[in-house]
Chains A and B, each alone.
Chain A
């Protein structure tokens, strides 16, 4: 029998893959080799000029990258810890379990930009309710105007918004765990803490790695929170790579240069996330 016609069934998927993934990447690479900007639109060829500028004359890109690393790693660790705690809590038989399961998901269901506008209003230093309440204790943190505190404000908003995602994945993982190891631990008289350390946590390792990697990929694109909350300020203290690329590309219209930054950033992210995934697997799965 001739099964050659089966290859025709691959075409729709292949076509979509080329259209939405391969072509844009090729176009970005080509764009990055051009000087396309507001006064010189078009795909002229300038060689590696944009890359040379990026690696030799743009410390702001690298500063924003290291800032992004700090923000994304911190937010994901916090999301993991809080998400695990919440999932563990509603995994048990507690009152209003269903209510809490839904409640903890609410932040994720809201629109990030709108929620950030609301958070910005909360943290507004002269009109916002947060400092109004804190004034009772005689403190008024500069949530958005102090270079150090502003970073933590971004972290608070990100953690609030995306912990539910971590909660959801980890709860799904907990619900799918086999019952036998827990029964065995109970027969052996293991305390809740030992049960968590020696049974729950190791069994959850594969799903934890997946959840952390998914969130790291998402967190490495922090943009809307920064855009709305601080515009990268004060100074450049909350500027992340994606926000900086946005400024260069869509504010200043340096399309060619922004493309070179995007491509470099993509490569760095692929390499670093691969390494992180390997390390996590080694540490958590003890492979």
Chain B
């Protein structure tokens, strides 16, 4: 039934342009590739709403990532409905506090607040649940199970899905698949050049391809672009590197903590091994790479500076844009795994291959419970993610909108409307789809005071990357801080919240 529904929606998305392109894409060139796509919040449907005289206030991220599509769809929404939409742009690091301060003061200066999906525990009491009308819409039924889970808390959806995030590996296909390079690599190292399946292979290849002009453009290229800048989402990059060593499918009951005791796992040998690899990675990033934030990572890999990268979709999409020098020269693959995984129950390494997808937190958006224009706010969000807007947004790397609907995994979308090479489109959609199907996934930490936990990880790991502490010392410091946070927040409160995430990881939700 679900497959059938997906097929119908995909077909509608592919063939509908013929019927609607003329009417709406003339006025709104953003959707010229598809035209309007029928749905509950299509351009056609929205044009019948009348919000004249009403004002919608939105707090979103700075331009371009998520800020640009928010402003663009706000402008379109104004034209269609007559509403006035005021958009405020805020740096990523301040999104939480900019909403939280008025929330705690009992005010609602913004009707819609953008943030990250891991804010859900702290924000949910101030957000209005998504009404049934939208929950039952065909578009919502198309959202993947993972992202329904990410947007919801214990069965109630508080965040309207507009984006789907996960970390995966991006690589230069023109190098890895190049027979001459394969021969050279084999001759120099005695090893096969292929898409790395372990972090050790990733490191070896990245080191080999670091600091020389391997694509003949006259510039030096480097091994890997990673988010290593303190407090700029680096903790998520660290978790991506940790899942292979520390998410053991045979030890359910918590990746970040042992759910029963709430003892942090963050300094166990699995995480330490990952941090040791990461410290080693400082040797094969571009100059200044240890100060790269997400924007730098996108620009570096997307601009053809490195062989590998891993994190959100944005760098891959940037590389596949029409204006990219490496369009159709990149590939997507699951995050590398490891040939050993830590068993926290037996306190020993298991010498077998392990790989775990990281369904990392991503952009999320909610409607303030105290908003006086909730209907209009939800209509705006529904319009934001309607079929036509969503497909157009997916094609623009800097927008930060990534697949989160089952229909997004149809490679034809990327081949027909974005001009992707079929092999690349297939590998991309397969990589994402396989993550959805995996039974060994890690979801973001979503507990009260989540920022304290992630900030402690950023501080500890950045000290290790800077050489101030060894990996073990750094993670011992993080574990100590996590224990102190659990004690301050209250063990029961953190445990109850963490149990919801563990249920998802253990495939019980």
Do the beta carbons of A233 and B230 come within 8 Å of each other? yes
Do the beta carbons of A124 and B288 come within 8 Å of each other? yes
Do the beta carbons of A232 and B231 come within 8 Å of each other? yes
On chain B, the residues within 8 Å of A247 by CB distance are 231, 455
CB closest chain-B residue, reference A125 = B288
Residue of A37, A41, A57, A145 touching B291 (CB-CB under 8 A): A145
Q: How far is the CB of A267 from chain B (nearest CB, A)?
A: 24
Asked if B264 is an interface residue, CB under 8 A from chain A, the answer is no
Given contacts A235-B230, A251-B231, contact A144 B451 (CB under 8 A): no
Residue of B287, B305, B448 touching A140 (CB-CB under 8 A): B287
Q: How far is the CA of A272 from the CA of B94 in the complex (A)?
A: 32
Stretch from B10-18, B364-372, B458-466 that touches the partner: B458-466
Given contacts A231-B232, A251-B97, contact A125 B452 (CB under 8 A): no
A-facing mask of B288-308, CB < 8 A → 1, else 0?
A: 111100000000100001000
On chain B, the residues within 8 Å of A128 by CB distance are 288
Do the beta carbons of B231 and A235 come within 8 Å of each other? no
Do the beta carbons of B462 and A235 come within 8 Å of each other? yes
Asked if A224 is an interface residue, CB under 8 A from chain B, the answer is no
Q: How far is the CA of A232 from the CA of B466 in the complex (A)?
A: 12
Given contacts A39-B489, A237-B466, A250-B94, contact A144 B288 (CB under 8 A): yes
Do the beta carbons of B96 and A251 come within 8 Å of each other? yes
Do the beta carbons of B104 and A252 come within 8 Å of each other? no
Do the beta carbons of B451 and A252 come within 8 Å of each other? yes
On chain A, the residues within 8 Å of B463 by CB distance are 235-236
Asked if B331 is an interface residue, CB under 8 A from chain A, the answer is no
On chain A, the residues within 8 Å of B289 by CB distance are 125-126, 145
Most central of A39, A127, A140, A142 by chain B CB within 10 Å: A39
A-facing mask of B475-509, CB < 8 A → 1, else 0?
A: 00000000010001100010000000000000000
Q: How far is the CA of A142 from the CA of B228 in the complex (A)?
A: 15
On chain A, the residues within 8 Å of B93 by CB distance are 251
Do the beta carbons of B466 and A147 come within 8 Å of each other? yes
Q: How far is the CB of B376 from chain A (nearest CB, A)?
A: 28
CB closest chain-A residue, reference B455 = A252
Given contacts A231-B229, A252-B449, A252-B455, contact A38 B122 (CB under 8 A): yes
Asked if A104 is an interface residue, CB under 8 A from chain B, the answer is no
Q: How far is the CB of B34 from chain A (nearest CB, A)?
A: 35
On chain A, the residues within 8 Å of B300 by CB distance are 126
On chain A, the residues within 8 Å of B488 by CB distance are 35, 37
Q: How far is the CB of A252 from chain B (nearest CB, A)?
A: 5
Q: How far is the CA of A57 from the CA of B481 in the complex (A)?
A: 10
Q: How far is the CA of A250 from the CA of B90 in the complex (A)?
A: 13
Do the beta carbons of A236 and B468 come within 8 Å of each other? yes
CB closest chain-A residue, reference B91 = A227
Q: How far is the CA of A171 from the CA of B488 in the complex (A)?
A: 54
On chain A, the residues within 8 Å of B493 by CB distance are 39
Do the beta carbons of B451 and A234 come within 8 Å of each other? no
Residue of A127, A131, A251 touching B451 (CB-CB under 8 A): A251
Q: How far is the CA of A39 from the CA of B104 in the complex (A)?
A: 10
Most central of A124, A236, A237, A252 by chain B CB within 10 Å: A252
Do the beta carbons of A37 and B466 come within 8 Å of each other? no
Asked if B325 is an interface residue, CB under 8 A from chain A, the answer is no
On chain A, the residues within 8 Å of B287 by CB distance are 125-126, 131, 140, 142
Do the beta carbons of A234 and B291 come within 8 Å of each other? yes
Q: How far is the CA of A254 from the CA of B451 in the complex (A)?
A: 10
On chain A, the residues within 8 Å of B140 by CB distance are none
Asked if A100 is an interface residue, CB under 8 A from chain B, the answer is no
On chain B, the residues within 8 Å of A124 by CB distance are 288
On chain B, the residues within 8 Å of A37 by CB distance are 449, 488-489
Asked if A253 is an interface residue, CB under 8 A from chain B, the answer is yes
Do the beta carbons of A126 and B291 come within 8 Å of each other? no
On chain A, the residues within 8 Å of B230 by CB distance are 230-236
CB closest chain-A residue, reference B493 = A39
Do the beta carbons of B459 and A147 come within 8 Å of each other? no
Do the beta carbons of A233 and B97 come within 8 Å of each other? no
Most central of B100, B222, B232 by chain A CB within 10 Å: B100
Residue of B104, B466, B489 touching A233 (CB-CB under 8 A): B466
Q: How far is the CB of A232 from chain B (nearest CB, A)?
A: 6
Q: How far is the CA of A60 from the CA of B458 in the complex (A)?
A: 14
On chain B, the residues within 8 Å of A254 by CB distance are 452
Asked if B254 is an interface residue, CB under 8 A from chain A, the answer is no
Asked if B179 is an interface residue, CB under 8 A from chain A, the answer is no
Q: How far is the CB of A121 from chain B (nearest CB, A)?
A: 11
CB closest chain-A residue, reference B448 = A39
B-facing mask of A115-128, CB < 8 A → 1, else 0?
A: 00000000011111
Do the beta carbons of B455 and A233 come within 8 Å of each other? no
Asked if B467 is an interface residue, CB under 8 A from chain A, the answer is yes
Given contacts A145-B290, A236-B463, contact A39 B449 (CB under 8 A): yes
Do the beta carbons of B455 and A234 come within 8 Å of each other? no
Do the beta carbons of B305 and A126 come within 8 Å of each other? yes
On chain B, the residues within 8 Å of A147 by CB distance are 466-468
Do the beta carbons of B451 and A253 come within 8 Å of each other? yes
CB closest chain-A residue, reference B222 = A126
Asked if B286 is an interface residue, CB under 8 A from chain A, the answer is yes
Do the beta carbons of B286 and A253 come within 8 Å of each other? no
Q: How far is the CA of A126 from the CA of B211 in the complex (A)?
A: 11
Given contacts A230-B291, A251-B451, contact A237 B468 (CB under 8 A): yes
Q: How far is the CA of A286 from the CA of B205 in the complex (A)?
A: 67
Do the beta carbons of A38 and B449 come within 8 Å of each other? yes
CB closest chain-A residue, reference B305 = A126
On chain B, the residues within 8 Å of A126 by CB distance are 222, 286-289, 300, 305
Given contacts A234-B291, A247-B455, contact A253 B100 (CB under 8 A): yes
On chain B, the residues within 8 Å of A250 by CB distance are 94, 97
Q: How far is the CA of A85 from the CA of B379 in the complex (A)?
A: 63
Given contacts A236-B462, A247-B231, contact A39 B122 (CB under 8 A): yes
Q: 8 Å CB contacts to B: which residues of A39-62?
A: 39-41, 57, 60
Q: How far is the CB of A28 from chain B (nearest CB, A)?
A: 15
Q: How far is the CB of A67 from chain B (nearest CB, A)?
A: 13
Q: How far is the CA of A235 from the CA of B469 in the complex (A)?
A: 9
B-facing mask of A213-256, CB < 8 A → 1, else 0?
A: 00000000000000000111111110000000001001111100
Known: A234-B466, A235-B463, A236-B230. 11 other contacts (CB 8 A): A40-B489, A125-B286, A126-B288, A142-B287, A147-B466, A231-B231, A236-B468, A251-B93, A253-B100, A253-B122, A254-B452
A/B interface sample: 25 pairs, CB < 8 A: A38-B449, A38-B451, A39-B489, A39-B493, A40-B489, A124-B288, A125-B286, A126-B288, A131-B287, A142-B288, A144-B291, A145-B288, A231-B230, A233-B230, A233-B466, A234-B465, A235-B467, A236-B463, A237-B466, A247-B231, A247-B455, A251-B96, A252-B449, A252-B452, A253-B100
Q: Chain A: residues with CB nearer than 8 A to chain B?
A: 35, 37-41, 57, 60, 124-128, 131, 140, 142-145, 147, 230-237, 247, 250-254
Which 10 A/B pairs are nearest by Cβ-Cβ distance?
A125-B288, A235-B466, A234-B466, A39-B448, A233-B230, A125-B287, A41-B104, A126-B287, A235-B463, A235-B468
